[in-house]
């Protein structure tokens, strides 16, 4: 068996602000190392989910092993772990980082440091990674590489003067990046003869192989037949196959040893047995301590997901189960709604995560979904001393039983050019933000710090931020904790019947405004019926806003002669088909789009 | 069987019109007429059914010369077995035909006229893109009477842009004064791909609101009833005995053959629609393709049913249709209701059972109960009929949908 010298291994990742060219650089590195020819390169090799490629973002961590022949004449094995860039996927970033020994920091030569640059680089430094910067997009007319280098040194405090100046898109300067990987990223220093300890940083469910564990071996070895045990979950299994990652494929090998990044399959049927962050060890010769860093991921945003067609409930359950196999940060539990029937209350890392799961359910599993307004976890302190973690507004106890409530607060960092500071501060104010301070990064840019209630930013904060800064603001946040807040449950009544799926929790000062906008929106969404339909927003039984869908007075085709019959029938069929897909509440048919439309209440621009 | 003959020509397309019609020069018209004659001959041979009604529609059939129309009707009469008392209608537009022409048509055997008036107000006529004035209409109408037409329909429109209820009613009274046997009044429909759609689809405020539209509709019924016209279909009013037999056939699902460009047929439980491309139509039915015709005739089963069409060797048959739909029993039952209920006398409970072998109360028990409860239909068990209520007429699509 070929022995692999740890000193010739480099395990690293690339961190960057979104759109700074992380995935493109990854593509170029794979291309340059000769694993694929230029012609075979599909754009963004690592982003292999359709959704990722369409949105130009990386959702799941991806890994590829490549061989690089360096200028010193030696061949090096690079394990490149591509990490997600969005704030929702911090845990995915963190577990990917934990598998690395170093990181390349990509910074856009024109935009300089952005909010996520900082967040990601600090995360990397927290994991004791050696970070070296790369200035990308130097061929842009607006590129200011020297300014950006100075900024990196000033703001982050890492050496940047010899940073490779590259254009990942046009393949300029990639060679230099590869050389610096060899020089600046440390080789792993595990002990292959110590008991096995491997960090699980991702996993994938394959219907033939079962769970495929993505791991970084810190110490020891693993090969076919090894009996492994997950230290946190206690599950054990016999290894069927080990291997490493080709571009878009799994390449089996005889053995993985300390310092290597690769995969293990062991006919494991349940991904819950292989929690990300857990340590794999040899069941017969276990290590004494698990690797640090395991944490159970907590969902921050919840919403109800219901199949549009009630009969598809089991399909939705299966699909969620399968998605959860690959996404430990997705939570779900069954719930029932009077309006929407059987569905699931699902927990997500953030709104983008929610949207991605929703799209994957619709695309990959062909499900038609109705999603309720997303909310956060509120803490309800009852007068009897009990504390409830509320994820579904419908479960809010009667006001008389509530002592007080708390809502989650995040600390947000918003990077913005100075001309937009005013409008962004105004936005934060409207969203009940508490100003913490402002740092000038340079003359024209500032970093604003705010405490913001999470429930104010999960709706459309990001959109509002972009529109009020002409796309220039960037932002990042982390959970700070819970604070006491004056919260109320806003109910929507349609034709005097409460629609549970439309209820949500809101700060009492925003209740009127939100209620009014919801009624307006619903008025446009609910088709006219033979009778008048009042749409009311109410807090604690008191109506605070009302709109009316007028009764239908006319629904008639004036003409229907010999040549019209087929066409008119199709029209009627279409109309009927449309109604079939509606939800009945009382005697009112509510289109599914109505439940979704309230997710996007336009902010005043 | 009924026969519909489509004349897809007009002088100028009206702004609201989405019918298959276009201006054309004499050469094209001649070519079309020849093709049409070939089609008529072909069907007369392959579908030798007795004709109870004949209807020349368009477009504006009267843009053809009276001689050409006479020739067509003569051909039909010579090739088909036409009932002696058949209703033979032709649609005409004012200012496209004079007394002489009308006289010729009457002599040729046309016994019913349908005249497109639409509005008595010249500014509205202009807005609609009509090519005539109200005065020209009056001339055409009196010419028609003089030519001996004793069964005339006048087409009117309501809910026109910026039309008030009073204006509309005044127009209606003018029409009544002329004492036609039949009046159709349609509330304006914005059809896609028309200049009106472009203009008003996003400017509904320029159109009478729903309240006004319904007021016009209800007033039409009230005023015409007082004048001796009864409403027998959603938009059709007639003096007793002058209901359009041809159009009633559509709602009663009487088989009909449509000839001409884009014409629809309903034969043997199958709905077809002829091709809509004029060039293709002319070339398909041109004399030089006699060979094709022979092939078609030889392979043509008695009716235009799918069994004939599905046979691969009858590929040629496909060419003449844009659409072919063999109705299922469910389709037919749905049609029975959504067509039959358009008529004020409604549908026969007994006839349904005879036709479909099951009772309406079994097939549509829940639907009928709901509709009756919502006062949208009236079930008259004694007379064995189900009909729409007044409100049911207003929201008839809502009702029809239940049977789909």
pLDDT in tens, A317-352: 999 988 887 676 788 999 998 888 999 999 988 777
In the block, which residue shows the tokens 């024109």?
A: A110
Residue A588's alpha-carbon distances to A496, A502, A549, A580, A583, in angstroms, are: 10, 15, 11, 12, 8
**Spatial distance between the Cα atoms of A253 and A245, rounded to a whole number of angstroms:** 10
Q: Inform me whether the C-beta atom of residue B263 falls under 8 Å from chain A C-beta atoms.
A: yes
User: Would you call the peptide bond into B59 cis, given omega within 30 degrees of 0 as the criterion?
Assistant: yes
Q: What is the mean pLDDT of residues A100-121?
A: 87
Sheet strand arrangement including B377-380: B347-348, B385-388, B377-380
B329-401 has which CATH code?
A: 1.10.10.920
The B residues from 123 to 182 touching A (CB cutoff 8 Å) are none
DSSP string, A541-596: TEEEEEEEEPPP-----S---TTTHHHHHHHHHHHHHHHHTSEEETTEEE-HHHHH
CB within 8 Å: A572 and B234:
no
* B175 alpha carbon, distance to own chain's centre: 21
Q: How far is B110 from chain A (nearest CA, A)?
A: 20
CB within 8 Å: A558 and B234:
yes
Does the pLDDT value for residue A491 go beyond 70?
yes
CB within 8 Å: B397 and A563:
no
CB within 8 Å: A563 and B273:
yes
In the block, which residue shows the tokens 């449309």?
A: A578
Say which residues have a Cβ less than 8 Å from residue A235's Cβ, sequence separation at least 6: A229, A268, A270, A273, A274
Question: Please, are residues B156 and B146 in contact by the beta-carbon 8 Å criterion?
Answer: no
- The chain A residues in contact with chain B (CB within 8 A) are 530, 552-563, 565-566, 568-569, 571-573, 575-576, 579
Q: How far is B195 from chain A (nearest CA, A)?
A: 19
Nearest CA in chain A to B326: A566
pLDDT (tens digit, 0 to 9) for every residue of chain B, 404 residues total? 999 999 999 999 999 999 899 999 999 999 999 999 999 998 898 888 899 999 999 999 999 999 999 999 999 999 999 999 999 999 999 999 999 999 999 999 999 999 999 999 999 999 999 999 999 999 999 999 999 999 999 999 999 999 999 999 999 999 999 999 999 999 999 999 999 999 999 999 999 999 999 999 999 999 999 999 999 999 999 999 999 999 999 999 999 999 999 999 999 999 999 999 999 999 888 754 555 555 455 444 444 444 444 444 455 556 788 889 999 999 999 999 999 999 999 999 999 999 999 999 999 999 999 999 999 999 998 889 999 999 999 999 999 999 99
| The predicted structure's pLDDT at residue B168 | 96
Question: Please, are residues B341 and B386 in contact by the beta-carbon 8 Å criterion?
Answer: yes
CB within 8 Å: A565 and B339:
yes
Q: Residue B218 carries which DSSP code?
A: H
| The predicted structure's pLDDT at residue A239 | 95
Residues of chain B with CATH 1.10.10.920: 329-401
Q: DSSP 3-state assignment of B46? A: helix
CB within 8 Å: B187 and A558:
yes
CB within 8 Å: B256 and A562:
yes
**For the stretch A422-458, what's the b/e string if a residue is b when 16 or more beta carbons lie within 10 angstroms of its beta carbon?**
ebbbebbeebbbeeeeeeebeeebbbbbbbbbbbbbb
Q: How far is A486 from chain B (nearest CA, A)?
A: 44
- List chain B residues with CB under 8 Å of A560: 234, 250-251, 339, 342
**Spatial distance between the Cα atoms of B187 and A344, rounded to a whole number of angstroms:** 48
Q: Inform me whether the C-beta atom of residue B404 falls under 8 Å from chain A C-beta atoms.
A: yes
- List chain A residues with CB under 8 Å of B258: 562-563
| pLDDT tens digits, one per residue of A54-108 | 554 444 546 888 888 889 888 888 998 877 655 566 666 777 788 899 999 999 9
**Beta-ladder partners of A106:** A16, A134
| The predicted structure's pLDDT at residue A605 | 36
- List chain A residues with CB under 8 Å of B397: 555-557, 571-572, 575
- List chain B residues with CB under 8 Å of A553: 210-211, 213-214, 394-395
CB within 8 Å: B404 and A568:
no
Nearest CA in chain A to B249: A562
Residues of chain B with CATH 3.20.20.70: 2-250
Task: Report the residue from B186, B271, B376 with minimal CB separation from A565.
Answer: B271
CB within 8 Å: B404 and A569:
yes
Q: Inform me whether the C-beta atom of residue B340 falls under 8 Å from chain A C-beta atoms.
A: no
- List chain B residues with CB under 8 Å of A558: 186-189, 234-235
Q: Inform me whether the C-beta atom of residue B344 falls under 8 Å from chain A C-beta atoms.
A: no
Task: Report the residue from B189, B264, B339 with minimal CB separation from A558.
Answer: B189
Looking at domain B2-250, which CATH architecture does it have?
Alpha-Beta Barrel (3.20)
């Amino acid at each position: 068996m070929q022995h692999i010298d740890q000193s010739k291994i480099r395990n690293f990742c690339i961190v960057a602000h979104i759109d700074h060219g992380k995935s493109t650089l990854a593509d170029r590195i794979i291309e340059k190392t000769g694993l694929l020819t230029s012609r075979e390169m599909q754009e963004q090799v690592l982003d292999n989910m359709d959704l990722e490629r369409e949105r130009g973002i990386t959702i799941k961590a991806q890994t590829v092993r490549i061989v690089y022949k360096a200028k010193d004449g030696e061949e090096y094995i690079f394990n490149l772990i591509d990490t997600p860039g969005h704030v929702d996927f911090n845990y995915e970033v963190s577990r990917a980082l934990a598998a690395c020994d170093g990181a390349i920091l990509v910074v856009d030569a024109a935009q300089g440091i952005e909010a996520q640059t900082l967040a990601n680089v600090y995360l990397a430094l927290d994991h004791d990674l050696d970070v070296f910067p790369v200035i990308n997009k130097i061929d842009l007319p607006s590129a200011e590489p020297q300014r950006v280098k100075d900024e990196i040194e000033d703001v982050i405090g890492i050496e940047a003067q010899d940073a490779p100046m590259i254009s990942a898109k046009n393949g300029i300067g990639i060679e230099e990046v590869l050389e610096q990987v060899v020089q600046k990223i440390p080789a792993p220093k595990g002990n292959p003869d110590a008991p096995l300890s491997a960090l699980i940083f991702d996993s994938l469910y394959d219907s033939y192989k079962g769970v495929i564990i993505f791991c970084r071996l810190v110490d020891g070895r693993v090969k076919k037949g090894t009996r492994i045990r997950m230290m946190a979950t206690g599950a054990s299994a016999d290894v069927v196959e080990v291997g490493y990652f080709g571009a878009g494929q799994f390449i089996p090998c005889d053995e993985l040893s300390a310092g290597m990044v690769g995969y293990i399959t062991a006919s494991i049927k349940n991904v819950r047995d292989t929690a990300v962050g857990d340590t794999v060890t040899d069941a017969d010769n276990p290590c004494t301590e698990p690797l640090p860093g395991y944490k159970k991921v907590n969902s921050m945003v919840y919403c109800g997901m219901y199949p549009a067609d009630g009969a598809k409930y089991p399909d939705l359950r299966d699909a969620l189960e399968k998605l959860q196999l690959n996404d430990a940060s997705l939570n779900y539990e069954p719930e029932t709604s009077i309006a929407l029937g059987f569905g699931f209350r699902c927990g997500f890392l953030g709104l983008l995560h929610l949207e991605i799961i929703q799209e994957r359910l619709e695309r990959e599993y062909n499900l038609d979904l109705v999603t309720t307004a997303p909310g956060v976890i509120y803490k309800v302190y009852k007068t009897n001393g009990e504390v409830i973690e509320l994820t579904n507004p419908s479960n809010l106890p009667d006001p008389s039983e509530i002592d007080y409530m708390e809502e989650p607060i995040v600390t947000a960092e918003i990077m913005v050019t100075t001309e937009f500071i005013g409008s962004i501060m105004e936005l934060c104010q409207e969203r009940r933000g508490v100003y913490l301070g402002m740092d000038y990064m340079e003359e024209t840019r500032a970093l604003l710090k705010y405490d913001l209630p999470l429930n104010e930013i999960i709706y459309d904060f990001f959109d509002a931020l972009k529109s009020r800064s002409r796309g220039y603001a960037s932002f990042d946040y982390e959970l700070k904790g819970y604070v006491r807040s004056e919260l109320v449950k806003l109910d929507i009544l349609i034709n005097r019947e409460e629609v549970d799926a439309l209820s949500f929790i809101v700060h009492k000062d925003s209740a009127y405004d939100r209620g009014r906008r919801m009624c307006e929106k619903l008025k446009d969404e609910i088709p006219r019926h033979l009778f008048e339909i009042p749409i009311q927003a109410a807090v604690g039984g008191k109506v605070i806003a009302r709109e009316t869908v007028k009764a239908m007075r006319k629904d008639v085709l004036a003409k229907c002669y010999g040549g019209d019959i087929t066409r008119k029938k199709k029209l009627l069929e279409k109309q009927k088909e449309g109604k079939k897909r509606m939800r009945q509440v009382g005697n009112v048919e509510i289109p599914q789009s109505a439940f979704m439309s309230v997710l996007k209440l336009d902010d005043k621009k | 069987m009924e026969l519909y003959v489509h004349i897809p020509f007009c002088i100028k397309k009206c702004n609201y019109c989405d019918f298959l019609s276009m201006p054309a020069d004499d050469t094209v018209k001649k070519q079309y007429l020849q093709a049409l004659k070939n089609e008529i001959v072909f069907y007369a041979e392959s579908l030798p059914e007795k004709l109870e009604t004949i209807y020349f529609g368009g477009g504006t059939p009267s843009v053809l010369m009276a001689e050409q129309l006479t020739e067509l009707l003569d051909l039909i009469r010579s090739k088909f077995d036409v009932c002696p008392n058949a209703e033979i209608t032709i649609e005409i537009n004012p200012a496209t035909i004079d007394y002489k022409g009308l006289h010729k048509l009457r002599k040729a055997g046309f016994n019913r006229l349908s005249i497109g008036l639409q509005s008595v107000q010249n500014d509205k006529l202009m807005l609609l893109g009509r090519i005539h004035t109200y005065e020209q209409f009056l001339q055409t109408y009196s010419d028609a009477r003089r030519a001996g037409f004793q069964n005339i329909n006048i087409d009117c429109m309501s809910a026109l842009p910026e039309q008030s209820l009073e204006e509309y009613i005044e127009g209606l009274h003018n029409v009544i004064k002329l004492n036609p046997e039949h009046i159709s009044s349609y509330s304006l429909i914005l059809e896609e791909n028309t200049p009106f759609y472009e203009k008003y689809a996003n400017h509904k405020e320029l159109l009478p609101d729903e309240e006004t539209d319904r007021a016009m509709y209800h007033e039409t019924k009230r005023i015409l009833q007082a004048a001796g016209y009864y409403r027998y279909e959603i938009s059709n009013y007639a003096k007793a005995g002058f209901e359009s037999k041809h159009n009633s056939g559509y709602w009663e699902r009487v088989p009909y053959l449509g000839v001409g460009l884009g014409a629809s047929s309903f034969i043997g439980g199958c709905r077809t629609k002829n091709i809509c491309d004029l060039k293709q139509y002319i070339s398909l039915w041109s004399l030089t393709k006699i060979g094709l015709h022979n092939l078609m005739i030889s392979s043509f089963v008695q009716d235009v049913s799918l069994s004939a069409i599905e046979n691969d060797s009858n590929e040629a048959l496909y060419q003449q249709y844009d659409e072919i739909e063999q109705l299922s029993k469910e389709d037919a039952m749905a049609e029975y209701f959504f067509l039959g209920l358009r008529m004020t006398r409604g549908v026969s409970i007994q006839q349904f059972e005879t036709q479909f072998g099951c009772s309406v109360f079994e097939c549509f028990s829940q639907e009928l109960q709901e509709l009756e409860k919502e006062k949208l239909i009236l079930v008259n068990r004694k007379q064995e009929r189900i009909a729409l209520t007044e409100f049911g007429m207003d929201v008839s699509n809502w009702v029809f949908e239940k049977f789909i």
